[in-house]
Amino acid sequence: MNDIVTVLDIGSTKAVCIAAEMAENNQVRVLSMHTVPCNGVKRGVVADIDEVTQAAAEVIRKVQMAVGLDMEPVVVAAGGNHLEGMNAQGFVPIVPQSRTITRDDVLQVVNHSRQLMMTPDREQIQALPREFKVNGQRGITRPVGMSGSKLEVVTYVVTGHTPHIQNLERAVNSAGRKVESMVLSPLASGLGVLTAQDLELGAAVVDIGGDSTDIAVFCGGTIAYHASLPIGSKQVTSDVSKLLKTSPEEAERLKIKYGAATSAKIPEGDTIEVFQLGGTETRPMQKKVFAEIVESRMRELAVMVRQHIEKSGQYAVLPGGVVLTGGGSQLPGTDELFGEVLQHLRVRFGIPKVDGQIKGAMARPEMATVVGLAKFALDRGDDEFSSGTDEDSWRDRIKTMWSFLGQPKAKKGRG
């Protein structure tokens, strides 16, 4: 039987869980997917641990009942602006000189790069090697088996606020499950929608969620930068509600039915009917004015995205352009607006592609993160390192991403 993984993404409006395996064609095959409402997470951080626990327990139970297997370890998405990434360097001498580099050497040099000064309230959740150097030679992805006297590495180290990490892990544990690993949400979103060529040549992913937007910049086959912005589709709804003096429910209805990220092409004479608070009948308003309210917030988001891509140092070298995903990206005209703000960068939408009977239900931008989580979890190549002791924590494991650029061997399918 093929390995099956269970992955969980808890967002600001819902919890999503899927069980998946690797198909013969090296695509993720989704065996079961369920969602349940959840408002216990605010901007990637657990705000109500009881609600998150209940949602996690319910959605995982539904998925595993459908699959017919009880799989305790769960791979969980970790998000929020408390997560920070930095490029750290490590170095170890190879003794005796010019002997063959082993996996232990690689583990040692990456662990050396992880020796960072951190405040007591922060901890590491992921370490992703970006580049190895042997005797100064750059661009090496797999140094095991090479000969040299000096091994160096640049590692993308992700750290988070310890209480937030512990609250997420505690919620999953209280749901009766064990955390197998936590994966940076923007990293997962990128893996969910980017091709191997995008990852290698360079591309940015913008995942627009309910109350936040995640950005991840990839180049050389791995992540180079990430950020989380406190703006999502809920902020658009809030703007409409406040400025038009409507209920949040009416604002959401108007956004879904009439919302557009650009107002330039809307005729001046078009009107929409708005039901305001305290009123007994709808009132007409110019559709163009309504669109301008929506556009103002979306343009603010696009400008912030550009600033962060520029901050990554990769703005001028992203042949893959910018890929928009997440539920908030579905607002009409979003790609046009981002294309206007992100000059000289190609902007397109990204939808995850999977195998299996429910692949149609998975081909939605809001599924990018869980699909990417499954890809990350199913990649069991030789580029995963740990000390191999029983005391190993998921925090201690090291995994590279270069196998995503090739064609890993698919295991035998389920009988």
Tell me the percentage of the chain whose pLDDT exceeds 70. 94
Side-chain-side CA neighbours of 327 within 13 Å: the count stands at: 17
Question: In the structure, what pLDDT confidence band is assigned to residue 5 with cuts at 50, 70 and 90?
Answer: very high
Lowest-confidence region among 95-104, 233-242, 336-345: 95-104
Burial 9-26 (b: 16+ CB within 10 A, else e): bbbbbbbbbbbbbbbeee
280-313 per-position pLDDT tens digit: 899 999 999 999 999 999 999 999 999 999 999 9
132-167 per-position pLDDT tens digit: 999 999 989 899 999 999 999 999 999 999 999 999
Query: DSSP class of residue 183?
Result: E
DSSP string, 238-305: HHHHHHHT--HHHHHHHHHHH--S--TTS-TT-EEEE--TT-SS-EEEEHHHHHHHHHHHHHHHHHHH
